[in-house]
Chain A
Amino acid sequence: MVSVVTEINPIYLREETQQKIRSSFLNSEFPALILKDFFSTKFYTELEQKISSLKFKKEVAVVHHCYAVSSFTLSSKYFSAFLSLVTKKKMNDLCFTAYCLTWKDYLILHDRYLEKPGLDIIIDLTERWNSDWGGKVIFTDGEGTVYPLEPARNSIALVERKKGLNKYIQYLNHQAKDRKRILLIASI
Chain B
Amino acid sequence: MSLTVIVQIALVFVVFTALLLSAAAAVYAERKVAASIQQREGPNRVGPGGLLQPFADVIKLMFKESLRPAGADRFLFVAAPVISAAAAFAAFAVVPFGASTTLFGLLDEPVRLQVADVNVAVLVVFAIASMSVYGIVLAGWSSNSKYSLLGALRSASQMISYELSYGLSLASVLLLGNSLSLTEIVNAQAGTWFGIIPKWFVVLQPVGFLVYGISGIAETNRAPFDFPEAEQELVAGYHTEYSGMPFGMFFLAEYINMVTVSAVATNLFLGGWHGPLLPESLGWIWFLLKVAALMFVYIWIRWTLPRYRYDQLMQFGWKVLLPVAVLNLLVTAAGVVYFGA
Instruction: Indicate whether A and B interact.
Output: no
Q: What residues make up the interface of A, taking CB atoms closer than 8 Å to B?
A: none
